[in-house]
Amino acid sequence: MTKKSRQATNDFCPQTLFLYGTYKENKTPDFGLFCWFSYCWDNELCVMMCIDGEKLTKDRIKAGNVFSANLVTEKLLPMADYLGNKSGYDADKMNFHADIGKGEILDVPILMESPVNYELEVTQRIPFGEGEVFLCRIRNVLYSEELTDQQISVGERLKNIAPISTTCNTYFSYTGEVLGSWGEPGKTFLKH
Ligand SMILES: Cc1cc2nc3c(=O)[nH]c(=O)nc-3n(C[C@H](O)[C@H](O)[C@H](O)COP(=O)(O)O)c2cc1C
């Protein structure tokens, strides 16, 4: 296979997307969209993630050391893209209706429409230039009931929830179709 060098990029390496939920100072929820999320190990499965620059999500995680990570599915994409392109510093960001619940173990807001919700506690922060890396313990994982039905194959369950992936600034459906560029699916979100 002939190879060509590129500068640092993760193009063509699809990533899963999560909406991180935190409470603002006034105790109302804020959600932001994130993909630099993966796993690590210390006696148990843990989460590692990175947030770059100034963001309300980052401020609130640093203030309370807890947040939720809610898996983004095809159904949630318009809202997720909106939340990834609007700053939490804009006071009107969360002025829409969403079914938001509470974590069972941690004091974090949960997106009820997302089939997988992590309740995460930060145990270590590593400043990394403009970004910051967070190592987290998974204090709880909430699954929608449909995911716990052992009668349905894993393949079917995954297809039913249809998590999206992203690479090359583009969203992809579970089966690989292009669902739009970053910034597109969210354009009509508030108009519905
Ligand atoms: C597809 C997508 C993925 C993103 N992933 C990340 C990420 O992993 N890390 C990050 O710092 N920002 C990421 N962002 C940017 C934040 O979602 C964006 O800055 C958002 O406005 C933050 O919301 P907040 O101000 O309420 O925290 C991403 C944006 C998009 C559209």
- Beta-bridged to residue 110, according to DSSP, are 101
Rounded Cα distance, 184 and 153, in Å: 33
Give pairs for 37-43: CB < 8 Å, separation 24+: 37/69, 40/135
Nearest atom, ligand 1, residue 171 CA: 1
Q: Whose CA is nearest to atom 16 of ligand 1?
A: 84
Percent of the chain exceeding pLDDT 70 equals: 99
**Opening angle at CA 58, ends 77 and 80, nearest 5:** 5
Contact yes or no for 117/70 (Cβ under 8 A): yes
Nearest atom, ligand 1, residue 131 CA: 11
Rounded Cα distance, 33 and 181, in Å: 14
Regarding pTM above 0.95, the answer is yes
Rounded Cα distance, 189 and 77, in Å: 9
What domains can you pick out in the chain, each with its CATH number? 15-191 (2.30.110.10)
Mutate-to-test residue for ligand 1 from 19, 31, 34, 181, highest number of ligand atoms within 8 A of CB: 34
Q: Which segments of the chain have a pLDDT < 70?
A: 192
H or E element that contains 85 = helix 77-85
Tens-place pLDDT, residues 28-74: 999 999 999 999 999 999 999 999 999 999 999 999 999 999 999 99
Give me the residue label for tokens 């939340």: 83
